[in-house]
Each structure stands twice: as structure tokens, then as C-alpha cells.
């Protein structure tokens, strides 16, 4: 059997730096756990635009469709702010999501014990926090037609359309209920059924799918209330299922509860391929952070944890994923900190690669 294949797309800004660290972790699993991957690398975002004049070359898109999993760093940066909308770095990312049909975006918000005093919320509100947001990723207002900016009565009008079919709501809901079954069996669905017809449909379809998951406790919440509840009492949630735009916003909010955006991974999953693996792309939730790029300051943990999610969801290596997550927990409880986390006199400041050094040492110790 051939090795599982990975396409690495570092992208822009700190994406390059954190991905270099992930490659060291991948190499560790090759050397010490005899897990070989066929790794290839390509361009996305501004880096692809600089070379090809497009944020995602067709050849790269084709490669992404063929591999077992894509690992993406981050896209965007001030150098690309004035580009035409159609070639902005973000369009490359959105094209990958859409053409690979990665409809289920899993965004865990987990608070590491060692960092619970780092949240902007009181420690008791976030200690032990473990939420999974399932964000619908291929439809809604991000992709709905009509869209654009046009003239009406001598005035510019900007249009985007929130559009969901019941099939789209349903497949995401199944992913969310499946996730709830593997966790605390609690699912909260968030929409705006009080103002949006798409929200009414969302609520109806999620309620229908619930019939197949009687063990899961389902609740519904308006998304604005959901945002409020996330900062009021985040531990009331287990799995949250929401649409593309609300999921974008609510997942940033949930992420920050944990103390640092630099800590959180994500998985975007589609339908199973012929080999049974889901179409999949893994990426850190943080962006390209151009303000700190190239200085060895970036926290590689979110990207390394994204690889852990790949081990779990694409390669059926849940135990190895846990090994990696535990190594990271160990390093954090030892007080090893990149700049985004630097807290007190008991912690040890490290660079991007210094963090990986510590993680690899902890991995060695786990054997
Ligand atoms: C995210 C990001 C993207 C989004 C951007 C970069 C297009 O904010 O993954 O949350 O809006 O989905
Ligand atoms: Mg976002």
C-alpha cells in the first residue's frame, strides 16, 4: 500500500514559519512511529498570486483533490489589500473549501489548564472548557447568488445572499450530531429564525435530523444570544452547529475564550473519498499575522494541533493524535511560552522553533 499523501500549503505571513515546524513534527512521526507520508508542497494565497497572478493555480487545485489531506497555513497580508476582489488571497482558500466541498468545519475551543488564567474571562468560567463548533462551510452568504456591487438610481448597492438548501443544512447537521454522539451528546443549533427565513428552515431541518439521534439533547438559540452565552457561561456548550457566517464570528469568539488564537486548530471535512477517507483540509484558526512574520515569534501550536486533527480524522490515528496533544499540554504546563502567551516570571520564553524543540522532546519522552 502506498503512503498516505499530504499536500502542504503554507501560504502567507507566519503560515510559512509555522508550517516549517509542522514538517518537523511530521518527520518525527516518520522516524519514531514509522508513519510515512508522501508530502508535497505548493503555493496558495498571496504567495500564489505573486508567482501565478492567481491565489490558487488550477494545478494546485487538482493536486488538492487527489491527496488524502491538505494542510494549510494562512493566507493574506497588507501587500494584497488593494488587489481586485477576485484575486485576493482569501479567494484561494474559499475556492479550496468550495471545490473540495468541505462542508463540515470543525473548530474546537479547548482551554489548556496551563493557560486558564490567560483568558480575558475569569478563570473559573473557562477552566476545563471544551467546545466543538461545527460550522457549515460551503454555502450561505459566503457563496449565495446574487452578489456584487452595482448601480441603482445613481447609487452603489452591495449585495450578498444568504441561501441554504435543506440538503446543505442536513449534511452539516449530521456531521454535528455525529460529533455530539462522540462527545457529551449535547448539541446547540444557532441561527436567526426570528428574522431570517433561512434560519427558520435551518431550525426545521436540524429538528428533523434530530429524530435519527434521539440520544442527543438538542437545543436552539438565536445566534446573537449564542454570542452572549459564549462569553457569559461558555461551559454550558458541548457541540454548536451553525452557518457559515455566524460560525466565522462565533468561532473567533470561542477561540479567544481559550486565551490565544495561536492555540486553535481546525478541520474542514467533506464526503468520503473512494479510499473511505473524508476529503479534508486542516488549518490553524489564526491568520497570517503579518505584524510578527519572519521574527520567530509565531506560535506553531495551532498548526501542529491541526496536524493532530489530520491524524485523528483522516488517518484513523486517534492514539497518535492524543500523543501529540498530550506532548503539547506537557510543554505548556512546563511553562514554555511563545510571545503570544508569555505570562509571568515562571515561564520560559521561546521562539517558534524553540516551541517545536520542546514539543519534540516531550514526544520523545512519551515513547
Ligand atoms: C476563517 C477566516 C476566513 C473566513 C477568511 C480568511 C476568508 O476568517 O477561516 O475563519 O472568513 O472563513
Ligand atoms: Mg474567521
| DSSP secondary structure letter of residue 262 | G
pLDDT for position 141:
98
In short, whether 93's Cβ falls inside 6 Å of ligand 1 is: yes
- CA 48 – CA 16 distance, rounded (Å): 13
The values of phi and psi at residue 281, to 5°, are -135, 140
pLDDT for position 258:
86
Report whether 53 contacts 88 (CB < 8 A): no
The Å distance, Cα 248 to ligand 1 centre, comes to: 7
How large is the average pLDDT for residues 183-210? 98
The alpha carbon of residue 186 and the mean position of all alpha carbons in its chain are separated, in whole angstroms, by 21
If pLDDT is split at 50, 70 and 90, which confidence band does 256 have? confident
Q: At what angle do helices 223-232 and 244-257 cross, to 10 degrees?
A: 10
> Helix, strand, coil: what percent of the chain each, to 5?
45, 20, 30
Record the pTM. Answer: 0.95
pLDDT of 225-239, one tens digit each? 999 999 999 999 999
Q: Is 42 a catalytic residue?
A: no
DSSP string for 7-65: EEEEESTHHHHHHHHHHHHHHHHHHHH----EEEE---THHHHHHHSSSS-HHHHHHHH
Question: In this structure, how many other beta carbons lie within 10 angstroms of the beta carbon of residue 182?
Answer: 9
- CA 218 – CA 202 distance, rounded (Å): 13
pLDDT of residue 101 exceeding 80, the answer is yes
pLDDT of residue 346 exceeding 90, the answer is no
Q: Indicate the fold that domain 1-103+265-367 takes in CATH.
A: Isopropylmalate Dehydrogenase (3.40.718)
If pLDDT is split at 50, 70 and 90, which confidence band does 117 have? confident
In short, whether 98's Cβ falls inside 6 Å of ligand 1 is: no
**What sign results for the dihedral spanned by CA atoms 132, 298, 127, 221?**
negative
CA atoms within 13 A on the CB side of 237: 33
- CA 30 – CA 24 distance, rounded (Å): 10
pLDDT for position 328:
97
Report whether 269 contacts 279 (CB < 8 A): yes
pLDDT for position 359:
98
pLDDT of 294-311, one tens digit each? 999 999 999 999 999 999
The Å distance, Cα 248 to ligand 2 centre, comes to: 5
How large is the average pLDDT for residues 47-73? 98
Residues of the chain with CATH 3.40.718.10: 1-103+265-367, 130-257
Say what percent of the chain tops pLDDT 70. Answer: 99
Q: Which CATH superfamily is domain 130-257 in?
A: Isopropylmalate Dehydrogenase (3.40.718.10)
Task: Dig out the grid coordinates for 51 from the structure.
Answer: 508567482
Report whether 82 contacts 108 (CB < 8 A): no
pLDDT of 10-44, one tens digit each? 999 999 999 999 999 999 999 999 999 999 999 99
If pLDDT is split at 50, 70 and 90, which confidence band does 344 have? confident
pLDDT of residue 173 exceeding 90, the answer is yes
How large is the average pLDDT for residues 1-16? 95
If pLDDT is split at 50, 70 and 90, which confidence band does 2 have? confident
Say what percent of the chain tops pLDDT 90. Answer: 91
The alpha carbon of residue 102 and the mean position of all alpha carbons in its chain are separated, in whole angstroms, by 12
pLDDT of residue 178 exceeding 90, the answer is yes
pLDDT of residue 94 exceeding 90, the answer is yes
pLDDT for position 38:
97
pLDDT for position 341:
84
Tell me which of 68, 80, 192, 213 is the catalytic residue: 192
How large is the average pLDDT for residues 56-81? 97
The values of phi and psi at residue 183, to 5°, are -120, -125
In short, whether 90's Cβ falls inside 6 Å of ligand 1 is: yes
Report whether 74 contacts 11 (CB < 8 A): yes
Given the DSSP bridges, would you call strands 38-41 and 186-191 parallel, antiparallel or unpaired? unpaired
Mutation pick for ligand 1 pocket among 94, 140, 256, 303 (CB with most ligand atoms within 8 Å): 94
Classified as helix, coil or strand, 274 is coil
Report whether 38 contacts 3 (CB < 8 A): yes
| DSSP secondary structure letter of residue 192 | -
pLDDT of residue 260 exceeding 90, the answer is no
| DSSP secondary structure letter of residue 159 | E
pLDDT for position 296:
95
Q: Is 224 a catalytic residue?
A: yes
How large is the average pLDDT for residues 48-71? 98
Given the DSSP bridges, would you call strands 217-222 and 186-191 parallel, antiparallel or unpaired? parallel
- Average pLDDT taken over every residue of the chain: 96
| 49-53, 153-157, 184-188, 335-339: the lowest-pLDDT one | 335-339
Report whether 169 contacts 189 (CB < 8 A): no
Amino acid at each position: 500500500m502506498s503512503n498516505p499523501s499530504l499536500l502542504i500549503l503554507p501560504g502567507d505571513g507566519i503560515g510559512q514559519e509555522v508550517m516549517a515546524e509542522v514538517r518537523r513534527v511530521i518527520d518525527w512521526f516518520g522516524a519514531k512511529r514509522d508513519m510515512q507520508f508522501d508530502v508535497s508542497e505548493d503555493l496558495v494565497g498571496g504567495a500564489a498570486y505573486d508567482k501565478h497572478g492567481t491565489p490558487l493555480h488550477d494545478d494546485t487545485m487538482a493536486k488538492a483533490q487527489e491527496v488524502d489531506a491538505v494542510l494549510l497555513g494562512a493566507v493574506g497580508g497588507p501587500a494584497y489589500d488593494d488587489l481586485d476582489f477576485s484575486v485576493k488571497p482569501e479567494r484561494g482558500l474559499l475556492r479550496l473549501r468550495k471545490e473540495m466541498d468541505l462542508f463540515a468545519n470543525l473548530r474546537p475551543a479547548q482551554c489548556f489548564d496551563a493557560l486558564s488564567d490567560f483568558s480575558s474571562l475569569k478563570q473559573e468560567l473557562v477552566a476545563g472548557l471544551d467546545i466543538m463548533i461545527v460550522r457549515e462551510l460551503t454555502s450561505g452568504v459566503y457563496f449565495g447568488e446574487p452578489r456584487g456591487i452595482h448601480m441603482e438610481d445613481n447609487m452603489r448597492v452591495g449585495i450578498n445572499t444568504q441561501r441554504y438548501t435543506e440538503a446543505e443544512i442536513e449534511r452539516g447537521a449530521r456531521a454535528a450530531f455525529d460529533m455530539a454522539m462522540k462527545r457529551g451528546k449535547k448539541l446547540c443549533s444557532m441561527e436567526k429564525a426570528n428574522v431570517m427565513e433561512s434560519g427558520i428552515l435551518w431550525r426545521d431541518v436540524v429538528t428533523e435530523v434530530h429524530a435519527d439521534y434521539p440520544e442527543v439533547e438538542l437545543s436552539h438559540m438565536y445566534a446573537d444570544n449564542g454570542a452572549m452565552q459564549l462569553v457569559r457561561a461558555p461551559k454550558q456548550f458541548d457541540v454548536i452547529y451553525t452557518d457559515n457566517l455566524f460560525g466565522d464570528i462565533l468561532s473567533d469568539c470561542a477561540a479567544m475564550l481559550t486565551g490565544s488564537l495561536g492555540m486553535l486548530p481546525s478541520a474542514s471535512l467533506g464526503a468520503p473519498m473512494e479510499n473511505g477517507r473524508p476529503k479534508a483540509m486542516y488549518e490553524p484558526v489564526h491568520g497570517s499575522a503579518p505584524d510578527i512574520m519572519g521574527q520567530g515569534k509565531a506560535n506553531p501550536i495551532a498548526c501542529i494541533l491541526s496536524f493532530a486533527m489530520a491524524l485523528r480524522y483522516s488517518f484513523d490515528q486517534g492514539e497518535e493524535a492524543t500523543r501529540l496533544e498530550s506532548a503539547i499540554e506537557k510543554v505548556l504546563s512546563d511553562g514554555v511560552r511563545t510571545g503570544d502567551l508569555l505570562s509571568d516570571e515562571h515561564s520560559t520564553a521561546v521562539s517558534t522553533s524553540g516551541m517545536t524543540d520542546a514539543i519534540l522532546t516531550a514526544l520523545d519522552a512519551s515513547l
